[in-house]
Structure 1
Amino acid sequence: MHDVVIAGGGPVGLFLAGELALAGCSVLVLERDDEIGSPWKALPLGLRGLNAGSAETLHRRGLLEAVIGASRADATKVGAAPDAIEAPAPRDVSHFAGMGLDAADIDVSSLPFRLPGPAMEGFMTSLEALGTVLADHASCVGVEVVRGAAVTAVTRHDASVVVTAGGQEYAARWLVGCDGGRSTVRRLAGFDFVGTEPLFTGYVAQVDFADPDPSKLPFGFNPTANGMYLRTPFEGHLGLMDFDGGAFDRSQPPTREHLQEVLRRVTGADVTLNGVRRASSFTDRAMQVTTYRRGRVLLAGDAAHIHSPLGGQGLNLGIGDAVNLGWKLAATVRGTAPAGLLDTYTGERHPVGAAVLDWSRAQVATMQPGPNAPALRRLVHDLMSTPSGTTHVYRRTAGLFHRYDLGGEHPLIGCTAPDFRYEDGTTVGDVLRRGLGVVLDFGDGHALEPSARSWKDRIRYVSGPPRDALGLTALLIRPDGVVAWADEHAPDLVTFERAAARWFGGPEI
């Protein structure tokens, strides 16, 4: 019997598997597809954006450089310049309903507790590049992956879960569904999935234009009176949003004739398609499970929440789920978790998911055609073009600035830790790579060391002053990089030990 079975071997499932295995759990991943790669996962159709928060998470597990390298190689394969995947800053750092932001308008002074580091900005990647790196990492830490194994049944017992996939049965103490927006695990385990119905059908396609002149269809996001289209520099890569109430989504294959009709209606241009290499559809349906856990079954990524891809938040939201869940489930498996630790997964991640769904709905409302739409878009654009507006949108999309409600008075508690750097070049990202908690003691007297050693198998102790302590004297950082405790004065052993016990269980005696 495995400790954990994960249904779904995409980036979220593979990242979660790596987190669990890093903590000593036996993990089995069941993946429906036979291979990691496919035209849908490679560029251009597999194009995805990783925000700064996801880049920081990869950095903290030593995976960032490998993902950037694989992303550049993937760009080269399709004839794009390797820098096609680089962060869009400083020109623009994000967008809202297709309206870009100028990084020069960000009020940096309103973003406290940030330090320069390798993961200051996001970048473009592909599902294939990211998945390949995460699969290699999972293999290195002992994860077993079975491909060609679609889940067909889930049987729950008091102390285990039995999963049927590919005609075989697999038993585990826990099951996590990372199997996408149409999650089989979600359905079989009886999760309630609630939200709002769609307003548009979207299309992503690789096509052959009769006239490839970009002057007819300019690159970038282009809102129109009937929807929006996106054209990227990748050959034939096209995105469309048609406000038809979501009527077409997967009801039939999107043929060349249908795509050409939608393209002409949305763009208002007389554009002819010679052919369609590949095409699929999606909607802005925004749904979320009411809880991320039912007994021994949990959900992460698109299995827990779906929404429009506007703003590229879906993959980033899923990676955030995985890094939050991994250490908590591992501690539960090992028997070191304090009471209620696993329940904080839903408590912390459900509000973040709900906020992303609302962000997606707001973008759709801003794009929706109608006689008042241009006035609304101008108003939103004007507000976004101010330093306050730009900074607000950046805070909402960068993945660095949400704060979990963990209690405590210091404003850094519940936030991602700054990437403190020491004189030898070591950073917080480096010391988090083992997936343990971290105590940073910035004083010279090793005041917290004796107490920290009580959690020696769960917390790593690091002493000495960094180059810039940001006015702090000590911090306790969870394995997901979130600050659990912080002090600006002489470290208080009582409050430190209380915080350590809350997140890491009782100390060893």
Structure 2
Amino acid sequence: MPMTEVLVVGAGPVGLALAADLRARGVDVALVERRTEVGAGTRAIGIHSPALALLEASGATHGILERAVRIARGEARADGRLLAAIRFDRLRARHPYVAALPQSDTIEVLTALAPPVRRGVTVESLRQEADGVRIGIAGADDLRAKVVVVASGWAGRSLVYRDGAVRTHHYPDRYVMADVTAPGGPVARVHLERDGVVESFPLPDGRRRLVAWAGREEVPDAAAFLHQAVARRTGVEVDTTGASSFGVRRAVAPALRRGRVIVVGDAAHEVSPIGGQGMNLGLLDALTLAPLLAPWARGGDGEGVDRWERDRLASARHAARLAFLNTLLGRASGPRAHAARSAALRTALRGPGGALFTRAYAMRLDRAASGT
């Protein structure tokens, strides 16, 4: 049975980015995906500076930037007033902005650079062998690879972790989201209002991603709720047809490696999407792992993988804390608490804390950001 050097399980943005990077490095890499169609999964839109820098190795950055809106400035607002401006264009980075584009566009760019995806392939087991990993496939012959990377999202955790090994915290918060045609230009805005947060992020072609805190109960009519919430909290009337609701959770795995099986992205750690950390965390997992896999798959001892694991676990814990803070700030509050929160944020974000917050939000504090 022939043996692939690296097999990537999962063809979302993280798996595709890893496979494209490995292919550019001359690695024999295969990519399998359970879903038969493209498009299911998350709807992340923002790619931050460190990930853009690392995507250059495969050539993906150019294609992404051709399609994206470059967000150089953000605003935190409350009660119709500007609390502080967040200046991504002042970052000391090769890409001092956030690239915002539909996830479908990101997938198109990465798919063109990655090896062909084998779809409709369900991985049932991963068994360690002396020289690699045997991959059990539902209804088909086994595959073999020197190294396997699981990038399949939370649904693939059972391939690596036993039940209960990855503790998951379910937040009580619900959110409603839609992509709409709306004014606003290339500026990201976060409205921290008494009734809860509204996030408004630019997308190409005059569209914006709107996300609103919706309380702790399921929303029966997401479009109607979002329309009313945006109008009441920001004063803007938009058509929110097609809105959907979602909950959030947090999970950070205790380890990312079991022998020659590595786990990246949401398969290992999930953070609240409020604040835009999740997909970028997975991209940084994959793109810092890629240069270590080539020599390992060709007979090396995996030098550097242990350090990579320690750094990525530390970065995941940091991202989870930041996402938790974003979730707390986005909840509704009483008049006094809201006034105190607004005053505290105005003070913090207009002082040295503003630069620190910008770096944290743009993932410049991630351990992968050094040199990017």
TM-score by length of 2: 0.80
Deviation at residue 232 of structure 1 after TM alignment: 5.6
| Inter-partner Cα distance in structure 2 for 1:206 and 1:213 | 9
Partner of 1:497: none
- RMSD between aligned alpha carbons? 3.6
Q: What SS does the corresponding residue of 1:325 show, helix, strand or coil?
A: helix
SS of alignment partner, residue 167 of structure 1: coil
Q: Where does residue 66 of structure 1 map in the other structure? A: 63
Q: Which residue does 2:356 correspond to in 1?
A: 392
Q: 1:347 to 1:276 in 2, by over 3 A?
A: same
* Aligned counterpart, 1:303: 267
Contact residue 17 and residue 55 of structure 2 kept, 8 A: no
CA–CA separation in structure 2 for the residues paired with 1:99 and 1:171: 55
Q: Report which of the two has the higher share of strand.
A: 2
CA offset at residue 29 of structure 1?
A: 0.9
Give, in whole Å, the separation in 2 of the partners of 1:175 and 1:374. Answer: 51
Q: What residue in structure 1 maps to residue 284 of structure 2?
A: 320
CA gap of 1:235–1:57, structure 2 versus 1, over 3 A, is closer
In 2, Cα distance between equivalents of 1:56 and 1:206? 27
In structure 2, relative to structure 1, the CA distance for the partners of 1:222 and 1:402 (3 Å cut) is closer
Q: Distance in 2 between matches of 1:149 and 1:99?
A: 50
Q: Contact (CA 8 Å) 2:227, 2:240: kept in 1 or not?
A: no
2:160 is matched with which residue? 189
Aligned residues: 354
- Distance in 1 of aligned mates of 2:135 and 2:183: 50
Query: Structure 2 residue aligned with 1:157, among 125, 128, 132?
Result: 128
CA–CA distance in structure 2, aligned partners of residues 397 and 258 of structure 1: 27
Structure 2: distance between partners of 1:274 and 1:64:
32
Matched to 1:350, the amino acid is L
Aligned to 2:177: 204
Q: Tell me the equivalent position of 2:246.
A: 282
Indicate the larger mover: 311-320 or 188-197.
Answer: 188-197
Shift of 1:359: 0.5
Residues 172-213 of structure 1 show CA distances to partners (whole Å, capped at 9, x for unaligned) of: 232211112x322x1232252125330311222357xxxx99
Q: Distance in 2 between matches of 1:49 and 1:223?
A: 20
> Which residue number corresponds to residue 251 of structure 1?
none
8 Å CA contact 1:7–1:31 kept in 2: the answer is: yes
Q: Distance in 1 between matches of 2:62 and 2:318?
A: 30
Unaligned 5+ segments in structure 1 are 73-84, 249-253, 405-414, 419-509
SS of residue matched to 1:286 = strand
2:105 maps to which of 123, 126, 129:
129
1:207-241, Cα deviation, whole Å (9 max, x unpaired): 7xxxx9989xxx94333323223456756854222
* Structure showing greater Rg: 1
Superposition deviation, residue 361 in structure 1 = 0.7
Q: Distance in 2 between matches of 1:301 and 1:99?
A: 33
Task: Say yes or no: does 1:147 pair with 2:119.
Answer: yes
**Given that residues 293 and 302 in structure 2 are in contact (C-alpha distance below 8 angstroms), is that contact kept between their aligned partners in structure 1?**
no
* Paired residues of 2:222 and 2:244 also in contact (CA < 8 A): no
Q: Secondary structure at the match of 1:328?
A: helix
Match of 1:228 among 192, 197, 220: 197
Determine the structure 1 residue equivalent to 2:48: 51
Tell me, yes or no, if the aligned pair for 2:311 and 2:367 is still in contact at 8 Å. no
Which amino acid in structure 1 is aligned with residue 194 of structure 2? A
Q: Which amino acid aligns with 1:226?
A: D
Higher helix share: 2
Q: TM-score, normalised by structure 1?
A: 0.61
Report how far residue 258 of structure 1 moved. Answer: 5.1
In structure 2, stretches of 5+ residues that fail to align are none
What letter corresponds to residue 52 of structure 2 in structure 1? Answer: A
Partner residue of 2:211?
239
1:376 is the counterpart of 2:341? yes
Q: How far apart, in 1, do the equivalents of 2:139 and 2:149 lie? A: 19
Distance 2:8 2:276 in 1: 24
Distance 1:258 1:46, change over 3 A: closer
**Structure 1 residues 17 and 96, CA gap change in structure 2 (3 angstroms):** farther
**Matching of residue 120 in structure 1 with residue 117 in structure 2:** no
Equivalent residues of 2:5, 2:298 under 8 A apart: no
* Structure 1 residue 157 displacement after superposition: 2.8
Match of residue 103, structure 1, among 87, 90, 111: 87
* Deviation readout 1:258-281 (Å, 9 max, x if unpaired): 54257547865899998843x443
- Tell me the distance in 1 between the aligned counterparts of 2:134 and 2:7: 9
| Distance in 2 separating the partners of 1:350 and 1:22 | 26
- In the alignment, is the contact (CA less than 8 A) between 1:228 and 1:267 conserved in 2? no
Contact 2:76 2:189 in 1 (8 A): no
- Identical-residue share of aligned pairs (%): 24
Verify the 8 A CA contact 1:52 1:400 in the aligned structure 2: yes
**One-letter code of the match for 1:122?**
V
